[in-house]
Amino acid sequence: MKKILFPTDFSDNAAKAMQYALFLAKELSADLILLNTYQIPAGGNTSIKSLHLAEILKSDAEEGLQKVLKEIRAQKEFDSVSVETVAKQGDLVQLVNEMSEEFMFDLIVMGTKGATGAKEVLVGSNTAAVIKGAFCPVLVIPEKAMYKKPQKFTFAYDLKPIIETQGFALFKTLASKLDAEIAILNVGLDELPGSTEEAVAGIKLNHLLEGVKHNFYFVKNENVSEGIDSYIKEKGTDCLVMIARKHSFLEKIFHKSVTKKMAYHVDVPLLVLKDK
């Protein structure tokens, strides 16, 4: 049985993102685990007062989770989805990453609140840290995203060899179940693969996606972010998919030294797959 983790802070943004988590749990016949974390303010963690505060915070977390669970059960279309609630004390990022390894989650779905672009949404946020440390794919749902059954995934591909990880297999399964198209997008200096190695990698990816609707698209642009953005503006997509490789474009987005503003639409969900 597949398992999806959904961290929530009970915000309106989290409520929107939860619809994606529920839909995916239903489509993948997966269990959904709702997580709320809480922390004791620094200073005096061993005092009786702090212990009492911990009990209050835990009670509030459990009460909030039960309220969310009640709201889920009011939606009859998700009757078949098994939902579990977990309230834990500690740092959100650390707990999510530890749990992703311990419980072998297949997917983490997170809502994120952003300003004017993908870098502002992700850099310096809990989401960025979870993506870096999680042991499974992470689906990021931006604040302005409106729930829509995905019919087109845009896979930003760098023409490098792909290992068929559990996460990539999940991506294929989801696209297949939804009968959705995967638009394989490469942005670079050339409009076609520039080397034999790149061509071979593209052929291998074509084989990996056998049985799933997919097409290759090549955009000529020396700036990867601008190329992806222009494609999305012109062709549209329901979800942008990227692989978190070392020294990749995605990694650069998360690096604090990067100051150039990203131009992605903040209403497009982002699915980040792990390289290994």
In this structure, what CATH number is given to the domain that contains residue 171? 3.40.50.620
8 A C-beta contact, residue 246 and residue 275: yes
Would 100 be classed as within a structural domain? Answer: yes
- Together in a domain, 94 and 156: no
Positive or negative, the CA dihedral 221, 223, 146, 106 is positive
pLDDT tens digit sequence for 93-152: 899 988 888 888 999 999 876 444 444 444 336 777 888 888 899 998 988 777 888 999
Same domain, residue pair 138 and 156: no
| Same domain flag for 244 and 269 | yes
Last residue of a domain, one of 100, 117, 142: 142
Identify the domain containing residue 167 by its residue range. 152-274
What is the per-residue pLDDT for 89?
A: 92
176-216 pLDDT, tens digit each: 999 999 999 988 766 665 567 777 888 889 999 999 999 99
Q: Are 132 and 164 within one domain?
A: no
- What is the total count of domains within the chain? 2
pLDDT tens digits for 245-254?
765 555 555 4
Domain boundary among 88, 119, 142: 142
φ/ψ bin of 264: left (φ > 0), alpha (ψ from -120 to 50), beta (otherwise): beta
| pTM of this structure | 0.86
Residue 65 sits at the vertex; the CA angle it makes with 61 and 68, to the nearest 5 degrees, is 145
